[in-house]
Structure 1
Amino acid sequence: MDTIASLFSFITTPVSWIIVQFHSLYGAIFGPDTGWAWGLSIVSLVVLIRICLIPLFVKQIKSTRNMQALQPKMKAIQERYKNDRQRQSEEMMKLYKETGTNPLSSCLPILAQSPFFFALYHVLSKIASGDEIGVLNENLVNSAREAHIFGAPIAAKFMDDPAKVEALYASLTDVRIVTAIMIVLMSASQFYTQRQLMQKNVDLTVKTPYMQQQKMLMYIFPVIFAVMGINFPVGVLVYWLTTNVWTMGQQMYVINQNPTPGSKAQDQYLQRLLKSVTSHSEVRSRRKRTVVQAIVAKGTDRNDNERRFITGLAKAGLVAQADGTVIKSDTAVAEAEGGAAQKRQQPKRQTKAKRQAATTQTGADKPAGGTGSASKPSLEKDKPAAGRARAGSTQGDAKPNTGGGKAAGSSRQPKPGQRKGPQRPKHPSSKK
Structure 2
Amino acid sequence: MSLDWIYYAISWILLVWHRAWDAIGVPDGAVLGTNWAWILAIIFLVVTVRVILFPVFVKQIKSQRAMQALQPQVKALQEKHKGDRETLQREMMELYRKEKANPLMGCLPMFLQIPVFLGLFHVLRRLSPGNDLKTLYGWSVDQFQSASAAKLFTAPIAGKFGSTTEELALLGANGTTVKVMAGVLVLVMMGTTYLTSRQMILKTGWAEDPQQRMIQKLMLYGIPLSLLVSGAIFPIGVIIYWVTNNLFTLAQQQWVLRKFPPPPSVTAAKSGTSGARNPVQPAKTGGLFGRKAAPPAPTKPAAPKVAGPKPGAKPVNPKKGRPAKRQG
For normalisation by structure 2, the TM-score amounts to 0.75
In 2, the alpha carbon distance for the partners of 1:239 and 1:219 equals 21
Is contact 1:156–1:165 with CA below 8 Å preserved after alignment?
yes
Q: Deviations over 1:161-216 (max 9, x none)?
A: 1231122121011111111111000100111222222233327xx85534465245
Is contact 2:268–2:275 with CA below 8 Å preserved after alignment?
no
Task: Indicate the structure (1 or 2) with the bigger Cα radius of gyration.
Answer: 1
Q: Deviations over 1:51-84 (max 9, x none)?
A: 1111111111121232233344335445528547
In 2, the alpha carbon distance for the partners of 1:83 and 1:170 equals 60
- Among 10, 14, 20, the alignment partner of 2:15 is 20
Q: The residue matched to 1:134 in structure 2 has which SS?
A: helix
Name the counterpart of 2:40.
40
In 1, the alpha carbon distance for the partners of 2:247 and 2:2 equals 27
Name the counterpart of 2:148.
145
Name the counterpart of 1:418.
none
Name the counterpart of 2:194.
191
Name the counterpart of 1:232.
234
In 1, the alpha carbon distance for the partners of 2:47 and 2:97 equals 34
In 1, the alpha carbon distance for the partners of 2:162 and 2:208 equals 43
Name the counterpart of 1:421.
none
In 2, the alpha carbon distance for the partners of 1:93 and 1:256 equals 30
Is contact 2:61–2:106 with CA below 8 Å preserved after alignment?
yes
Distance 1:313 1:71, change over 3 A: closer
2:48 alignment partner AA: L
Deviates most, 21-30 or 62-71: 62-71
Going by fraction, where is helix more abundant, 1 or 2?
Answer: 1
Distance 1:308 1:136, change over 3 A: farther
Query: What does 1:82-93 correspond to in 2, within 5 Å?
Result: 82-83=83-84, 85=86, 87-93=87-93
In 1, the alpha carbon distance for the partners of 2:19 and 2:26 equals 10
In 2, the alpha carbon distance for the partners of 1:53 and 1:39 equals 22
Distance 1:70 1:265, change over 3 A: closer
Distance 1:265 1:33, change over 3 A: farther
In the alignment, structure 1 residue 171 sits paired with structure 2 residue 178: no
Q: What is the alpha-carbon root mean square deviation over aligned residues?
A: 3.3
Q: The residue matched to 2:101 in structure 1 has which SS?
A: coil
In 2, the alpha carbon distance for the partners of 1:139 and 1:175 equals 24
Is contact 1:262–1:304 with CA below 8 Å preserved after alignment?
no
Distance 1:167 1:304, change over 3 A: farther
Greater than 6 Å deviation, 4+ residue runs: 263-267
In 1, the alpha carbon distance for the partners of 2:47 and 2:208 equals 36
In 1, the alpha carbon distance for the partners of 2:281 and 2:172 equals 63
In 2, the alpha carbon distance for the partners of 1:333 and 1:76 equals 36
In 2, the alpha carbon distance for the partners of 1:190 and 1:242 equals 11
Q: The residue matched to 1:259 in structure 2 has which SS?
A: coil
Distance 1:74 1:247, change over 3 A: same
In the alignment, structure 1 residue 30 sits paired with structure 2 residue 49: no
Query: What does 1:250-399 correspond to in 2, within 5 Å?
Result: 250-262=252-264, 303-304=276-277, 311-312=284-285, 332-334=292-294, 337=296
In 2, the alpha carbon distance for the partners of 1:242 and 1:304 equals 41
Is contact 2:150–2:157 with CA below 8 Å preserved after alignment?
yes
In 1, the alpha carbon distance for the partners of 2:281 and 2:139 equals 60
Distance 1:246 1:10, change over 3 A: same
Q: The residue matched to 1:141 in structure 2 has which SS?
A: helix
In 1, the alpha carbon distance for the partners of 2:101 and 2:64 equals 9
Name the counterpart of 2:81.
80
Name the counterpart of 2:314.
none
Is contact 1:200–1:263 with CA below 8 Å preserved after alignment?
no
Q: Deviations over 1:75-113 (max 9, x none)?
A: 54455285473x545423321122110122112111211
Note the residue ranges of structure 2 that are not aligned, 5 or more in a row. 300-328
Q: Deviations over 1:364-405 (max 9, x none)?
A: xxxxxxxxxxxxxxxxxxxxxxxxxxxxxxxxxxxxxxxxxx
Distance 1:234 1:39, change over 3 A: same
Q: How many residues align?
A: 284
In 2, the alpha carbon distance for the partners of 1:265 and 1:255 equals 12
In the alignment, structure 1 residue 101 sits paired with structure 2 residue 96: no
Distance 1:309 1:143, change over 3 A: farther
Name the counterpart of 1:10.
5
In 2, the alpha carbon distance for the partners of 1:112 and 1:146 equals 30
In the alignment, structure 1 residue 122 sits paired with structure 2 residue 122: yes
Is contact 1:30–1:36 with CA below 8 Å preserved after alignment?
yes
Distance 1:207 1:109, change over 3 A: closer
Q: The residue matched to 2:137 in structure 1 has which SS?
A: coil
Name the counterpart of 2:57.
57
- Among 160, 163, 182, the alignment partner of 2:163 is 160
Distance 1:143 1:99, change over 3 A: same
Q: The residue matched to 2:233 in structure 1 has which SS?
A: coil
| More contact order relative to length (CA 8 Å, sep ≥ 6) | 2
Name the counterpart of 1:291.
none
1:240 alignment partner AA: W
